Amino acid sequence: MAKVGVLIEIENGEVKETDLGVLTAACKGGGNEVFAIAMQENTDAAASVLAEYGVNQIVQVVTKGGDIKGSPDFETRILAEAVKNFELNALLGLASAKGRDLFARLAAFMDVPLVSDCISIDLDAKTVRKSHFSGKTVATLKVESELMLCTIRPNAIEAQTMPVQAQTVVFEAQAADPGLTKITDVKQSTGGKVDLTEAGIIITGGRPIDSADNYKMLDECAAQLGESTAVGASRAAVDAGFAPHSMQVGQTGKTVSPKLYIGCGLSGSVQHFAGMKTSKVIVAINTDKDAPIFNKCDYGIIADMYDVVPVLTQVLKEQSD
Ligand SMILES: Cc1cc2nc3c(=O)[nH]c(=O)nc-3n(C[C@H](O)[C@H](O)[C@H](O)COP(=O)(O)OP(=O)(O)OC[C@H]3O[C@@H](n4cnc5c(N)ncnc54)[C@H](O)[C@@H]3O)c2cc1C
């Protein structure tokens, strides 16, 4: 039985939904001892969810050494201390903005290799899978270090409940803030309420969206598809000024892995697919029956998106009323 730590991201008192898949990977059907490391003093609201997803120990970090949220270097040192204190064999986290930043710092600080953005993980074999060359190949990598340090692509691993008795452990970290960097301001992206990389459903508009204003049609549909839905854009739409770059999906945009990806007016370019090909179900709406996207999707609708999307929105609205 391995001891596996998971860095938990808590927002407004709630565990991020995308963390639940990471917990599923960590507990491996109950075969491992799972430590949820929460960098905050109060984890009460999150405790029941963590226990539902296989966490044995909820590690609540307390410190007198500085402000955890304001200093990623300080957070790194606390994490390193927790890894040693709980004698963890692996530490996992989300390949989110926070995870990508912290795990890279931790790898450098502990001098341990990091595998980022994994799409699956085998903790017994110490192997991970991740996509390479803009999604053209998937590599299986063997981790040779004693400690496995990995970030997991949001939504790549399906969350499964594994109810256990969880206990909360207060961990008083001794580390001090080295004062190297300080977060002074956090700005939310303008691309929408839900972060594209963590959205459960994405509806994307391509070049024929034709104006920034027409994204309202997709926003309205997204509102009916549920609160974990985000709206994306192709590079053609971004380059034309219809959407900000923060909404771009693809090789030079964001890499996403939602449960459902609805592409409206996308031709299906390799560069766009590089960013969303690991989506669980892909639906394409395109007027051209020969569009390449129809060879790569699970469901194809040969129709005008301006006809289909409003009908979809209306049907979803009627179902929820
Ligand atoms: C180095 C490099 C990096 C790139 N990175 C990215 C990236 O990150 N993301 C990205 O998206 N692209 C990227 N691209 C660009 C990419 O090659 C394509 O040009 C782009 O993805 C095309 O966008 P599109 O599908 O919206 O537009 P188009 O290719 O113009 O396709 C529009 C599609 O909409 C259909 N259509 C037209 N009207 C309607 C309608 N009313 N209803 C339904 N369907 C309709 C058409 O039949 C057509 O198939 C990159 C290119 C390069 C060279």
- The residue extents of the domains of the chain are 3-173, 196-320
The CA radius of gyration of the chain, in Å to the nearest whole number, is 21
pLDDT at 40: 76
Evaluate whether 29 touches 22 at the Cβ level (below 8 Å): no
pLDDT at 136: 82
Cα-to-centroid distance, 271 and ligand 1 (Å): 9
Per CATH, domain 3-173 is 3.30.70.120: no
3-state secondary structure 51-98: HHECCCEEEEEEECCCCCCCCHHHHHHHHHHHHHHCCCCEEEEECCHH
Other Cβ atoms closer than 10 A to 97: 14
State which amino acid sits at residue 203. I
- Distance, CA of 142 to CA of 120 (rounded, Å): 12
- Distance, CA of 50 to CA of 161 (rounded, Å): 10
Tokens 């609201």 belong to 45
pLDDT at 134: 78
Cα-to-centroid distance, 213 and ligand 1 (Å): 19
Superfamily (CATH) of domain 196-320: TPP-binding domain (3.40.50.1220)
DSSP state of 281: E
pLDDT at 298: 98
Same fold, 3-173 and 196-320: yes
pLDDT at 191: 52
- CA-nearest residue, atom 51 of ligand 1: 271
- Of ligand 1's listed atoms, the one at least distance from the Cα of 236 is 23
The pTM of this model reads 0.86
pLDDT at 1: 86
Query: Which residue ranges in the chain fall short of pLDDT 50?
Result: none
- CA-nearest residue, atom 27 of ligand 1: 207
pLDDT at 189: 64
pLDDT at 66: 86
List ligand 1's pocket residues with C-beta within 6 A. Answer: 206-208, 234-237, 248-253, 265-267, 269, 271-272, 275, 285-288, 291, 304-306
Best mutation site among 210, 247, 267 for ligand 1, i.e. most ligand atoms within 8 A of its Cβ?
267
Cα-to-centroid distance, 210 and ligand 1 (Å): 12
